[in-house]
A and B are shown apart, each in its own frame.
Chain A
């Protein structure tokens, strides 16, 4: 594979991430899509048809606010306030934008696979193998047996755990967050890059 020069890579990454915003009015966040799918699997279909739940919660919310007001200021003032004409209670709990469904999240993840396939097809080197086609990874963990798969599974668990804990990965924090100068993203990106450097040098010393 002949890789793109750095400037073309940078323009491509920025175009895709900005395109994500322009087309979908959302910040690109890949680990968030994993999170959405895991939540769907854990908690069942909490899909965007929430209007019924919203009606229930509106009545409950009004009652809760009434009780909290009584607790804070006493019943007297609440009754006084009730004597004056009140505007009708309208609570806007509607999100400004519909959430994407699990099917759409799955389509995004599937299209990443398709993107990799397209790249390999156009480069004319599509062959499937139970490996990473990596010299260094093979040298470290061997090309057969369980050390390789175990290393990938452990690494994957760390990636899944860490990205959910930090609430973002390379796309959400690294690209979209850093370019908006968000404090959390700057810290998270510095941390995951530093850990990547440390572990890579450690692996290099082993190999």
Chain B
């Protein structure tokens, strides 16, 4: 359980082996539904043809997108382990809660759905979360300490309010506001598009982000109430922090102060759409961490 109390900054050593990584096998990614307390939870899943001994990995997306953004990396991770990227309730193709709910409630709802997707209470799992998904991964680790084995966090929105003006979430948003949302989202997504990410991938993210309609603010409205610093301190499992070179790089680095035993890896190749255009090298790094022997 105890990692060396130092922060590893292995700049790009593992992550830059891009060419080699293209030779990696890829599993097919399928979609499915599992029942949860708010209705169906939709998920993307890849797994090896024969069930191996590897612990399943659950991936949590940033808001207000969906698990679809993990399709590429699932295909790599799924060659050795069951890898499931869920759509948070109310996002992607998952049914919404009746109103905004806390991250604690989201975690409980998702765990119920995972049980119905065949993840038994005795089954160990690993969790990965990016941005808002990092809150869910943290909550999973703290709430289900015996079931969650290892934790991977990236883009940690640590003390976000101190570094960035958080747009007030629009609680009065109406369905008809979706058109303005589409235009703004489209412009923002394409202005941030690196050459390495296809227009199809960006458009697909925009479409996914349209699906929550006027409920897209639910998760972002409840995120500030989640005591991330305290919960990061409560994590007892081995943690890997991927320092991706994107908007929450500095926040993620600062979050490490709460987790002195966490391992941190610089991931300069992984920028804003890192899980898409750096999927292969990230999958290698993630698998190496998950498969490493318990120290």
Q: Do A and B come from one complex?
A: no
